[in-house]
Amino acid sequence: MEVNLVSIITPCYNSEKYIKETFLSIKAQTYTNWEWIIVDDCSVDKSVELIKSFEDSRIKLFIQSDNQGAAHARNLALNNAKGRFITFIDSDDLWLPNFLETTVNYLISNDEDLVYTSYKRVDEDLNHALDDFIAIDKIDNNRILYNCPIPMLTSIYDRSKIGVIEFPDVDLREDHAMWILLLRKIKYARAIKDSLGVYRMRSNSLSRNKLDIAIKQYNVYKDFLKMNIIKSLYYTFFWGLNGLKKYGKF
């Protein structure tokens, strides 16, 4: 583990349209002690060719021989990470230039374990889509059950304190399941109110079958956390309610 090195984790699948913008936002960071670990999950476009063209020795590219999904890709990256700090960015999202400097300094100066920031919400062409998502301070292992306010995009944690938390094999809800596991090891996640990330709301994610996602979320409670049916339904209800609030539907 290298002192104060940030390991940036990115799964990539058919991201040729956006991956260069993601790279440029990372390269523009005022904090420069980072490595970017990209795992390509069998892209059939020019993603790999583009990534190989990025001239930066801090980039480490792994290419999977078969498509195994984002959770497996992130775990492969985590297992090859050398940094003290772990953070995530998807291959179509962006950071503001001071994201890493602000969050790393916060973790070190406040002796905290995990911090995340607010972020901007834009459409595929980076036009304003919704009001900024505002980070909620002190999310603990009880609050995280009601929904997942901690985004991959603007979260960073201190591996020297927590260790590496892998993503469980939970269909499409692996990020929520991972945060549940992580928050069992620390008191809470801290929040920075500044919007330091840019989340691209793509049409394919917005049109995702909501009932199917709700069922998968229910399975997080029932199968992954081994809750009874009543508890699983209870938390799924509040997960759905909080989701409506998040996207301004309630």
What confidence tens digit (pLDDT) does each residue in 36-45 have? 999 999 999 9
Q: What is the pLDDT of residues 56-114, one digit of tens each?
A: 999 999 999 898 999 999 999 999 999 999 999 999 999 999 999 999 999 999 999 99
Euclidean distance between CA atoms 118 and 74, whole angstroms: 22
CATH 3.90.550.10 fits 2-207, yes or no: yes
Residue the block writes with tokens 């539907």? 249
* 207 has a pLDDT exceeding 60: no
Task: Please say whether the beta carbons of 180 and 141 come within 8 A.
Answer: yes
**Predicted structure pTM score:** 0.94
Q: How confident is the model at residue 205 (pLDDT cuts 50, 70, 90)?
A: low
Write the pLDDT tens digit of every residue in 131-141: 999 999 999 99
- What residue ranges do the domains of the chain occupy? 2-207, 208-250
Among 77-81, 118-122, 206-210, 226-230, which is the least confidently predicted range? 206-210
Calculate what percentage of the chain has a pLDDT beyond 70: 97
DSSP-assigned states of every residue in 38-76: EEE---SSSHHHHHHH---TTEEEEE-SS---HHHHHHH
Helix 229-246 crosses helix 210-219 at what angle (to 10 degrees)? Answer: 140
What is the model's pLDDT at position 1? 79
Coil, helix or strand for 123?
A: coil
Distance between CA atoms of 115 and 243, rounded to whole angstroms?
Answer: 21
Find where tokens 């009001």 sit: 131
Q: Calculate the average pLDDT of the chain.
A: 94
Q: Model confidence at 206, in pLDDT bands (50, 70, 90)?
A: very low
